[in-house]
Structure 1
């Protein structure tokens, strides 16, 4: 089995690559800024006895992304599963968000994901592969976050793109789902290489941030043959964070 995981140089992407390698996948690894991190991920994959290929992927120039996906799939010899994980964000109040920031976040998080998923799906369809596609969105696919209008718009759009892809690709035996994490202990949240069980988060029912590997396990489950009847869904993994709206309104 062969999978490509974008943005797998750290965080959720790296954890997903490691979990997939442990389940028998050869893995295509991509990076944007952290080549050393990507090489480290590849080493983890190889330590599990699987093959790894590494390529740089710059989604701020999304028109070149399809070629990278095709190159990785070609080097690995096919494509059974694709994880659109690479992304970015911006913390700027709506009234202060400039057009350049808006365009950059949507180019990376939405347009880039579209181009990569399309390239992966086209290869699966051409090969007759009943493939699996998972897009990593965010709880902010579903609920807003003040100061993150571009990020929320991109993740919300990606969530609906997932559903549209699921509808159109079902006839080819391809499933498409979203995984929507809450706070996860990753570089993006400032908690790299920290035991999430040692961090207190009273506002989260689980009392802590999530572990990237927990998200990786969910991704792996959705890519497995047992999930062939699951498509067009968004799986929130947030320790109960989104449930707190009910508490706040009580």
Structure 2
């Protein structure tokens, strides 16, 4: 019996790398998408193959060009013979005041964080339907899918749109046995957030977060792996927040200033 095939974008570091490791450990053959860090992606593929005996193919993804990204995915899926899981993990962060944001950066963030994930999901879903064995799509959004942040007009809007896209896809694809969910991390100790690889989140104090620290990428990856598995067959169209309780604290600062806590 052939192994299930999982595609993970942004797999060269951080959350994406941990998702790839988790899915490899569960017996998935992998397609690892990466942007600029081909060396790290290759090393990860070799590590997973050696540890778990699964295939790990690489695909260079230029998510700033959604047409190209879709063609790149289609080519590698033709080569590996299908897809059972797509994890749209890759993304870029951006902070700029509303009055200072420019069209070029708005379009770049939307291309990477929304349009390319949509196009990749289109391709994956079409193949899953044709294969007739269902599938899993997991979109990694952000806590800012749900709550705003100053300077986050572009980033928050793109992530919120990806969250609603997740729900629409879930509704349309459910009759085909395809679930579509989102995982929305809060601050996570990854290179994208200027935390060196290997530094444990427990060494970083975050008093404003109830858990007292950022998240570990492995903790986010475990949610993605669950949603990609058979145990989540009845879970679709939802967004699971993994933020150490950050979104629970919206009124705390105001209450402190008012002398209520």
TM-score by length of 1: 0.97
Residue of structure 1 equivalent to 2:243: 238
Equivalent positions of 1:1-250 (< 5 A) are 1-47=4-50, 48-193=52-197, 194-250=199-255
1:199 shift after superposition: 1.1
1:249 shift after superposition: 4.8
SS at match of 2:250: helix
Distance in structure 2 (CA, Å) of the matches to 1:44 and 1:221: 22
Q: Map Cα deviations across residues 113-167 of structure 1 (whole Å, 9 max, x no partner).
A: 1001111101101111210000000000000011121100100000000000000
The answer to whether the 8 Å contact 1:26/1:45 transfers is: no
The answer to whether the 8 Å contact 1:27/1:45 transfers is: no
Distance in structure 1 (CA, Å) of the matches to 2:40 and 2:251: 40
The answer to whether the 8 Å contact 2:70/2:116 transfers is: no
Q: Map Cα deviations across residues 65-96 of structure 1 (whole Å, 9 max, x no partner).
A: 22222222233222111100111121111111
1:227 shift after superposition: 0.4
Contiguous gaps of at least 5 residues in structure 1: none
Q: Map Cα deviations across residues 25-84 of structure 1 (whole Å, 9 max, x no partner).
A: 111001111111111221222122111000100011111122222222233222111100
SS at match of 1:95: coil
SS at match of 1:203: coil
Contiguous gaps of at least 5 residues in structure 2: 256-261
* Cα RMSD (Å): 1.0
